[in-house]
Amino acid sequence: IYNLTDAIGLIYNVARDGDPERSQVGEVPATIIENNDFYIEPRLYRQKGNETWACAEDGMDLKAGTKSTDPRDRIRILNNRLWGFRPTDQSCGGSGSTGAGIVIHRNASNILIEGNIFFDLTQGITAFGKNRKYPDEEVEHIAIINNLFYNLRDAVPGNPNSGQAFRLSTGVDMYYNTVAKARSLLFVQEKRATNRVQCNTFIDIREAEPWENNRQSWSNLNAWYNYPDEGRIYAHRGNSNVIGRSASDAKLGDLTFYVRRWTGPEKKTFSNVVPTGQLLGPKITPEQGCHCGKGGEGGRWWVE
């Protein structure tokens, strides 16, 4: 699925007082988006000095989900590959975007994003929270689990979203992800958001984002390699992290996979990103009953 304004737009139209914008956020329970390639080609890029823009928006624009707590109704985004996205040139490509792999907003809830590969794009995942324009809508129950984010491009230098893995203004669970080669890792836009960041591996992040402590969030049992400021790693209410001064300290293996497998296979290999039988990755001491093995998630909603 390629060269579209949004490769996937998850909306559901229901009549709401003649308001076309509010009519896009009905429920889409049990939706599964699995094993796809979502990308744009360089011919859609527009160069402006040292900035790269595109006549397109995001890989996925998720406005709808479900408020159902039944695990069978959960929206699942599984084992996809997303690449190539850049910020929108509004003269040719839609209403505007940061070039993210996935944007989550409006009323998108109960969404599990697991096992995907994001690479060569400007931003990984953006999850918005409350929107004053739509006070009856809310993003909640978002889980980002065991994904790879690799080589996030600083396509528009000076733009805070450019080359960034995550921008969050709602509570998100992030477990078992690997982020390698990004300008910045995580910007928490809403300090009251309840984030849980555990058992992730972060490699070669060039800039440390500011963040504020709160009583709701937990960030611990993560591994950080070649982070620019060890005193500013994102850690809440815990002190069990692995810190390595160089990327090679991670001692991870290479990942090889194919894109466009059905229309023109191309092999990709990313170095130092996955544990192998010989290279098991970081060892982190358990804390407060949490650990990075099976069952260490602590009964989170997405485990059911």
Contact 254, 270 (CB under 8 A): yes
Q: Quick: pLDDT tens for 201-220.
A: 999 999 998 777 777 888 88
Look-up of token digits 């090679």: 248
Angle at 189 between CA 154 and CA 79, to 5 degrees: 60
CA pair distance 206, 63, nearest whole angstrom: 31
Q: Assess if residue 193 is contained within a domain.
A: yes
* 24, part of any domain: yes
- Does residue 259 sit within a domain? no
Residue closest to 8 by CA, chosen among 57, 47, 75: 57
| pLDDT of the residue at 176 | 93
Which helix (DSSP H) or strand (DSSP E) does residue 64 occupy? Answer: strand 60-64
Handedness of CA 117, 259, 122, 126 (dihedral sign): negative
- Give me the CATH number covering residue 221: 2.160.20
**Which residue stretches of the chain have pLDDT < 70?**
12-25, 190-191, 238, 276-283, 288
pLDDT at 172: 94
pLDDT for res 5: 81
**Tens digit of pLDDT for each residue in 137-165?**
889 999 999 999 999 999 999 998 999 99
- Please state the domain count of the chain: 1
Contact 85, 54 (CB under 8 A): yes
Q: Is 279 left (phi over 0), alpha (psi -120 to 50) or beta?
A: beta
Q: Has residue 22 been placed in a domain?
A: yes
Is-contact 26 69, C-beta < 8 A? no
Q: Which domain holds residue 177?
A: 8-246+280-303
Q: Does residue 269 belong to any structural domain of this protein?
A: no
What pLDDT is stored for residue 227 in this prediction? 94
pLDDT for the residue 293 = 79
Position 130 scores a pLDDT of 78
Closest of 27, 190, 189, 176 to residue 114, by C-alpha: 176
